[in-house]
Amino acid sequence: MADNLPHKVADINLAEWGRKEITLAENDMPGLTHIREKYRPQQPLKNARIAVCFQVTVQTAVLIETLLDLGASVQWASSSPFSTQDHAAAAMAKRGVAVFAWKGESDEEYVWCIEQTLTFPNDKPLNLILDNGGDLTNLVHTKYPQYLCSLVGVTEGTSIGVHSLHKLLNEHKLNIPAINLADSVLNSKFCLFYGVSEILYQGIKCAAAVVMLAGKVCVLAGYGNIGKGCAKILRSFGVRIIITEIDPINALQASMEGYQVTTMEEASKMGNIFVTATGCPDVIRGEHFLHMRNDAIVLNMGLLDREVDVEWLKRNAVETVRVNPRVEKFKLSNGRHVLLLAEGRIANVTWAMSYPAFAMSYLHSLHVLAHIELWTSRDKYEVGVNVLTTKFDEEVATFHLCHMGSKLGKLTPEQAKYLALPIEGPYKSEHYRY
């Protein structure tokens, strides 16, 4: 493949469709629009050259346009080869953004696309990274260390990416300040809890539309941020929920919500629908498939492809039928069938539905504020894995509250004195768990 292309997308003719959807998403991303209005006059990202490795979707296009609006130059590749919305990529290429992404890139093409984001016009290297999963950060640290000296920092929004940052740090290989956004309150308690769960319902219906949810039993592996949101939304459709957990605290939370908590060995005999959201490999294995009822639906919402042992299914199925692009049906030796969605990959991302724009607006807003921080207050952040203070979560939360027409109370000077809090916040300590 040739290097130094201005962009590489599947079909530039999809740009008009992409633009219409970007506008729709923008109207439901109040955090980003508030940030544009507030910070545009100062151009705080002037001269910043940001390499972005993030799913190429209409929602992320709004993030990219916000960075551009604040003065940055941006080059963009996808963080997940299956997730690219080709119409979003086309719209951004049409407006002159250096975007390198198309749905279904091979592994080799995926790395090539990321590599195209490293040098900007006139051979100027990147000086900031906006990452989602750690691939760009790892690539620079391992294959292109010559760029490390020009780098001011990286922001990372996924737990897997943060895990790999800590790994680099522990091995004394991390060379730049990093900001962990995965553990920010607005990401874990809002973006994941509300955003991912809402898309789960759409995902099940989109793949297996004929299946009625009410009255079914859903086994949810993992009662973390995503599991909690999925359980809440499925319960509202009349689904009975069974939780499997390995952490007693999360298991206790599930029990106190009235969910049955048991092992996968037991639950596999009872469920009609199985959802994994653990980040742990081999949560659903051969012995569990063999217990399942006929036509059990299995899907994974975790980033790790190996939560469901798809290889076992492939090796042991006596017959495999592709029902539609999203569903494969495996006939087992016991005569029963298992319906696997999205080949066991992270379902919502694989289907390019990604997240609702409003939910993405939380995380994307934090990315922008973190980049302004890194670029304008770089001495504040040391090489290591940093977190943003609560003040930033509160600022982004306020932007979204305004959009919903919600009204926030204000402390009187006497109340503020009694509580020993600044009237303008932050209102909670960094350890508060919400």
Ligand X SMILES: NC(=O)c1ccc[n+]([C@@H]2O[C@H](COP(=O)([O-])OP(=O)(O)OC[C@H]3O[C@@H](n4cnc5c(N)ncnc54)[C@H](O)[C@@H]3O)[C@@H](O)[C@H]2O)c1
* Between 180 and 348, CB nearer to ligand X: 348
Q: Taking a C-beta distance cutoff of 8 angstroms, is the pair 120, 141 a contact? A: no
When computed from its CA atoms, the radius of gyration of the chain, rounded to whole angstroms, is 22
User: Is 224 annotated as a binding-site member?
Assistant: yes
Could you tell me the smallest distance in angstroms from the CB atom of residue 174 to ligand X? 20
CA angle 87, 88, 91 (to 5 degrees): 85
Q: Can you point out the beta strands (E) in 199-238? A: 217-221
User: Is 272 annotated as a binding-site member?
Assistant: no
User: Is 215 annotated as a binding-site member?
Assistant: no
Q: If you write DSSP's letter for every residue of 117-157 in order, what string do you get?
A: TSEEGGGEEP-EEEESSSHHHHHHHHT-GGGGGG--EEEE-
Q: Taking a C-beta distance cutoff of 8 angstroms, is the pair 67, 45 a contact? A: yes
Could you tell me the smallest distance in angstroms from the CB atom of residue 197 to ligand X? 9
Integer Cα distance of 185 and 128 in angstroms: 23
Could you tell me the smallest distance in angstroms from the CB atom of residue 406 to ligand X? 25
Interacting residue ranges for ligand X, rule: CB under 6 A: 158-160, 192, 196, 221-227, 244-247, 250, 277-280, 283, 301-304, 346, 348-349
Task: State both tokens at 352.
Answer: 């390019």
User: Is 228 annotated as a binding-site member?
Assistant: yes
Could you tell me the smallest distance in angstroms from the CB atom of residue 22 to ligand X? 20
* Between 225 and 390, CB nearer to ligand X: 225
Could you tell me the smallest distance in angstroms from the CB atom of residue 328 to ligand X? 19
* Between 113 and 283, CB nearer to ligand X: 283
* Between 28 and 282, CB nearer to ligand X: 282
User: Is 229 annotated as a binding-site member?
Assistant: yes
* Between 306 and 391, CB nearer to ligand X: 306
Tokens 């507030």 belong to 38
User: Is 31 annotated as a binding-site member?
Assistant: no
Q: If you write DSSP's letter for every residue of 352-366 in order, what string do you get?
A: T----HHHHHHHHHH
User: Is 241 annotated as a binding-site member?
Assistant: no
User: Which residue in the shown chain puts its C-beta closest to ligand X?
Assistant: 224
Integer Cα distance of 164 and 144 in angstroms: 17
Provide the annotated binding site for NAD(+). Answer: 224-229, 245, 250, 348
Provide the annotated binding site. Answer: 224-229, 245, 250, 348
